[in-house]
Amino acid sequence: MKRLVVTADDFGLSGEVNAAVEIAHRDGILSAASLMVGAPAAAEAVAIAKRIPTLHVGLHLTLAEALPCLPAARIPGLVDATGVLRRDMARFGAAIFFKPSVRRQMRAEIEAQFLAFAATGLRLDHVNAHKHFHLHPTIAELVFDVGKAFGMTALRVPLEPFDIVSKIEPMISNPVRLVMEPWARRLAQQARRRGITVPDQVFGLAFTGALTAPRLAALLEHLPDGFSEIYCHPATSGGFRFAVPGARYREEFEALTASECREALEASGARLGGFADA
């Protein structure tokens, strides 16, 4: 049996992202979205989610390169001079590991984001993190501890089967995968020991920022048995704050409603839904 969740990350980041999520769910194959609770258009995203309750919504923890929920004065070790969560991922990760004060601030920010999601009244379908920062072992423990109190039952672990991706594009290279994979396998084991649902495989790493219709259709055609997640970053256009330069937002949005992708999903026989359907 094949089960599939197609997720849009960064829900709430901008009006362009929110519009893409709503249309792609209504007219395409998008089944879930991950909400940035502290983002500029989060309130609009929540209103959309309540208007279309068939959309499965989870928490997209933003712990780096985004706006925090807490005031910058309460989390000085997490933010830069502009009040944005730090972008120096290596040094930031080391500070979280070695400095108790930074760990306490990180826990407070994670709690604030879970609280903000709970305040929306939406059902918590899943949890993941911007830039996959929950692979950091200290952050992972904090997410497990805090998430338990808020009913977290499902977690994205970015383990992408490279053999399938390389069938689609034989020349593709993804060196980041080699660094992430040992930590992802560790995280998957920890989650499953806690009874938290984790997909058997996740797609989106190799094609991040460029999950075009031909690539999405090919992933659906090669979809393996078991529980899979395909994540993407759709928007009706780019140019908004925190948009990634060069990301093909519009193409990812169009892929979700493309006829070739809808047909490939139907041909796959996969049951589309959310993590809560596991």
pLDDT tens-place string over residues 203-231: 999 999 999 999 999 999 999 999 999 99
Are 274 and 32 in contact by the 8 Å Cβ rule? The answer is: yes
For residue 278, what pLDDT band results from cuts at 50, 70 and 90?
Answer: low
Residue 171 has pLDDT above 90, yes or no: no
* Residue 68 clears pLDDT 70, i.e. is over it: yes
pTM above 0.85, yes or no: yes
- Find the helix or strand (DSSP H, E) in which 204 lies: none
Q: Residues 233-252: pLDDT tens digits?
A: 999 999 998 999 999 999 99
- Average pLDDT of the residues in 13-22: 98
Note the pLDDT of residue 173: 73
Which sequence spans correspond to the domains of the chain?
A: 2-277
Lowest mean pLDDT segment, chosen from 15-29, 45-59, 103-117, 164-178: 164-178
- The dihedrals phi and psi of 59, each to the nearest 5 degrees, come to -100, 120
172: pLDDT strictly greater than 90: no
Residues 77-104 have a mean pLDDT of: 95
With contact defined as beta carbons under 8 Å apart, do 25 and 234 qualify?
A: no
pLDDT digits 0-9 by tens, 190-199: 999 999 999 9
CA angle in degrees (0–180, nearest 5) for 115-93-189: 70
CATH of domain 2-277: 3.20.20.370
Task: Determine what percent of the chain is predicted with pLDDT higher than 70.
Answer: 99
- Mean pLDDT computed over every residue of the chain: 95
**46 — pLDDT class (breaks 50, 70, 90):** very high
Q: What is the dihedral of CA 207, 209, 212, 214, to 10 degrees?
A: -10
At residue 140, what is the residue type?
A: A
